[in-house]
Amino acid sequence: EPEVTQTPSHQVTQMGQEVILRCVPISNHLYFYWYRQILGQKVEFLVSFYNNEISEKSEIFDDQFSVERPDGSNFTLKIRSTKLEDSAMYFCASRGGGTYNSPLHFGNGTRLTVT
Amino acid sequence: AQSVTQLGSHVSVSEGALVLLRCNYSSSVPPYLFWYVQYPNQGLQLLLKYTSAATLVKGINGFEAEFKKSETSFHLTKPSAHMSDAAEYFCAVSSSMRTGNQFYFGTGTSLTVIP
């Protein structure tokens, strides 16, 4: 069964550094998402992406965050200048088009640790 | 606007006992509802989804959920808990927004199974 893949599985970075988290969504999916989960807390929506543009973003997704689909397969999340509070598990997800009852398919996440 | 509320952030049951995880939704339109499971250090895996075809939905690993419109509920049940069911469970509702196509997650319920 096709799956969403995320790399790296764990990323350690220093405060103020830029990080890029990478995702390969399921190939025929049209909607792409980033969520994050701070340790012990709920899954929080960051951004959704459709037709090569952001369709919705949360308050968390400020100017320090950006997303890109540079080619037909990758979907990236960039944090320009990381802060300690950006430490979290970041999940990429994708979804097929056509109906609103199609579920999200999640990757296994990238654990970002900002020191 | 759509949202879900999960009552009980932690639930403990004995092995072999009934599992009941509660989820109530709020939606101005007919909702599409989902349950996801997250095992330690893993991504979110779809357990089951409600698509309006049937009010009682069967999922993987012996779980099922019943959609009750009158109670705006979509509780998750399993007749007999296994040790392997210990995980975090998330209820989610899908928004049929014009472009966002966003999922809204509950805060999660951590299930502990006592031997």
In tens, the pLDDT along A24-46 reads 999 889 889 999 999 878 788 89
Burial of B106 (0-12, 13-18, 19+ CB in 10 A): buried
Single-letter residue type at A13: T
Quote the CA–CA distance of A61 and A63 in Å, as a whole number. 7
Q: Is the pLDDT of residue A98 over 90?
A: no
What is the C-alpha separation between B48 and B28, in angstroms, rounded? 22
Within A7-109, residue ranges assigned H as helices are: none
- Report whether A59 contacts A44 (CB < 8 A): no
User: How near does any CA of chain B get to the CA of A102, in Å?
Assistant: 9
pLDDT digits (tens, 9 = 90+) for A70-90: 887 899 999 999 999 999 999
pLDDT band at A16; cut points 50, 70, 90:
very high
- In chain A, residues with a C-beta closer than 8 Å to the C-beta of B104 are 45
Binding-site residues on chain A for chain B (CB distance < 8 A): 4, 31, 33, 35, 42-43, 45, 48, 50, 55-56, 91, 93, 95, 100-101, 103-109
Q: DSSP 3-state assignment of B61?
A: helix
**Spans in chain B with pLDDT lower than 70:** 1, 95-101
- How many alpha carbons fall within 13 Å on the CB side of residue A74? 11
Q: How far apart are CA B33 and CA A23, in angstroms?
A: 25
Contact residues on chain B for A56, CB-CB shorter than 8 A:
97, 99-100, 102
Q: Which one of B50, B52, B105 has the shortest CB-CB distance to A42?
A: B105
CA distance B84 to B111: 10
- Residue B88's identity, in one-letter code, is E
